[in-house]
Amino acid sequence: MTPPVPSLDDLDVVIPVLNGGDRLVQTLKALPAVHQVIVVDGGSTDGSEVVAAGEGAHVLLSAPGRGAQLVLGAQASRAQWLLFLHADTVLDDAAWAATASFIDRPKAADCAAVFRLTLDDPAWQARVLELCVRLRVAFLALPYGDQGLLIHRDLYAEVGGFAALPLMEDVDLILRLGRRRLCLLDGAALTSAERWRRRGWMRQTARNLGCLTLYFIGVAPDRIAEFYAR
């Protein structure tokens, strides 16, 4: 029998979504009891907002753009702790236990936390990609949003929160946090590999690296979003 997750009464979970109803319902059903679940819909046409409301989430409507959706969700939150989670990402039991333990640590509010990326695909390419992500986090302290982000609202405010960017909003915030204010927790963030399966493992990985490179050389996020959508 799986042990119960300790109380998460002071945690709000913020989930942006855009036409992700099928994945979203799995993510919502896997959540333990928290203070509030906030789903921010960026104009879905597949009934994602209806799915979210049916699972008891507080639903907000937003202009499209994950950064803007995350900003709106954070503004609507009231708990001291925030967990930003993608609509196609499910945290396992170990991750939730680690979340509760982290929140109870002395001075936990001084640091933000992410989880280990795991893809929901048995292909060897998925294992290679997971290893590459672990190395990127270890050496560059650069996790992406599909690893979740657990952060105290005071630290979130201190670093300026998410920017209303169409893309790279996760990298932008992580860079402002910096290595010393970031830690990796036990447990997995199980994320859909659908975009890799659809676009091809090498092609999607190259596209992600291309976007990151463009960001670091100063290309505007609007232009990067156009490149990513091609």
pLDDT in tens, 198-230: 999 999 999 999 999 999 999 999 999 888 887
Instruction: Tell me the average pLDDT across 44-73.
Output: 94
CA distance to 31, 98, 132, 182, per residue, from 27 (Å): 7, 18, 25, 24
Q: Lowest-pLDDT range, 13-27, 118-132, 171-185? A: 13-27
Strand 89-91: give its sheet, edge to edge: 58-61, 34-41, 8-17, 81-84, 149-152, 112-119, 182-191, 89-91
53 contacts: CB under 8 Å, gap ≥ 6: 59
Assess contact for 49 and 28: CB atoms under 8 A. Answer: no
Q: What is the pLDDT of residue 6?
A: 58
Residue 137 pLDDT class (50, 70, 90 cuts): very high
Q: What is the pLDDT of residue 4?
A: 55
Q: Which of 132, 86, 93, 113 lies closest to 181, judged by CA?
A: 113
State percent of the chain over pLDDT 90: 89
Strands (E), 179-226: 182-191
Amino acid, res. 102? F
Amino acid, res. 124? W
Q: Would you say residue 165 has pLDDT above 70? A: yes
Here the tokens at position 7 are 């109380």
CA distance to 83, 169, 177, per residue, from 181 (Å): 16, 17, 6
Domain at 10-229, CATH class: alpha beta
Q: Would you say residue 186 has pLDDT above 50? A: yes
Q: What is the pLDDT of residue 113?
A: 97
Q: Would you say residue 1 has pLDDT above 50? A: no
Assess contact for 220 and 226: CB atoms under 8 A. Answer: no
